Amino acid sequence: MSVFVNKDTKVIIQGFSPNSQGGFHGLRNRAYGTQVVGGVNPKRAGEEIEGVPVFATVADAVAATGADASFVAVPPSGSPGAILEAAAAGIPFVVCITEGIPAQDEARTYNILKRDFPNTRLLGPNCPGIITPGECNIGITPGEIALGGGPVGIVSRSGTLTYQALYELKQKGIGVTTCVGIGGDPVPGTSFIDCLEAFQADPLTKAVIMFGEIGGTAEEEAADYIRDKMDKPVASYVAGVTAPAGKKMGHAGAIVSGNMGTAKGKMEALRAAGVQVGLNPTEAGELMADIVKNL
């Protein structure tokens, strides 16, 4: 099985044009085998781009194609509106890769989704997306680094570390059920706990590898969930051990304030919850390989 997306997921691309990020990555997703059934671009409505029909609105695309997932690849100023347009059209799963959306816009969009569109899940923004290897790839993850079949689920805040987690496992011959990049912004649409809960419920996911980073309390909250609600083994790595306090490190959410959000504190919380914590991504992969041997 998988979580959130599979071979039957029908995807539309918001911000679809020949020379855009949406066009480039959307067509790569289709080449991987994802069911990309349409694009949305009001300026190109009625056209076809490499065989993909383009619609003026998400509602038009859903009516014509039955799409149940959307890939939002529009600039920061338009992303909140695009996310809410997808939700209003009944799309249950929205992936937004856009970086640089102001935190207050993210928070407003997140709260509108929770209040008005509780049946829509947002992944991102500022995330690499999601891949169920061999079935569906939505976003910018290179499919060739992913080995499918399980038994491991992956969830990661960092995009680059999402790729490394996939490749570390592939090099060891370990398959993945689904890999979810939740993004590193302060207000992610989907949290570690959302993914851990989904992996816990998925019978083909037997273990989980979780990559975190400095900033916020998401990893500590995940540790509490793992301790109290999970019976599947978890391995982890937390980036940013040497990060100086008060300096943003890459992601908008990756900042240490005083004693809050440190890699050391997150690692201690995870270890206390029974998680096997590696000191680097490769070590985390090795820990997971040992876990898989003993499943």
The CA distances from residue 280 to 164, 236, 238, in Å, are 11, 9, 8
d(CA 212, CA 236): 8
pLDDT value of residue 246: 55
- 93 and 52 share a domain? yes
Q: Is residue 128 part of a domain?
A: no
80 in any annotated domain: yes
Q: What pLDDT is stored for residue 243 in this prediction?
A: 56
Q: Which domain holds residue 233?
A: 142-293
63: domain CATH number is 3.40.50.720
Same domain, 163 and 260: yes
pLDDT at residue number 218: 92
Within a domain: 3: no
Q: Are residues 154 and 255 in the same domain?
A: yes
Catalytic annotation, residues: 251
94, pLDDT greater than 90: yes
Against a cut of 0.75, is the pTM above it? yes
Please give the tally of structural domains in the chain. Answer: 2
pLDDT at 214: 84
Residue 2 lies in a domain: no
* Helical ranges in 43-130 per DSSP H: 58-65, 79-88, 103-116
Q: What is the arithmetic mean of pLDDT over 84-94?
A: 98
